Amino acid sequence: MNQPDSEHRLHTLLQLIQRLYAETEGLAEGDGDLQSWYNRGYANGMIQVCDELGYRERVRALVRPDSPGLIAGQEFLPWGKAYRHGFEKGAGEIRAALAGIDEQ
């Protein structure tokens, strides 16, 4: 993949993180629908992988990520399960989407 394509893909994914954070802003424990918790988890999974791949500063320029313990102790409640599922999916899907970009 050439550099402009890689940069465009990364930029698109970073915009998705920013949009998901905006849509789920102010989410409180047990508040909101489960889809919102899934979406927040999805965004946080994406952020974790971006950090691992060296894009931490680019993410921080767009959003201030939640603390890693956002749902600590609540993983088995409905919103905690939705969040964890979203986190796992977001991490896996962004890892697949970014495969090869960091190797260029």
d(CA 12, CA 29): 29
d(CA 40, CA 21): 7
Lowest pLDDT segment from 4-8, 89-93, 94-98: 4-8
Mean per-residue pLDDT for 35-47?
97
Domain edges within the chain: 3-22+30-103
pTM of the model: 0.89
pLDDT of residue 101: 66
pLDDT of residue 104: 44
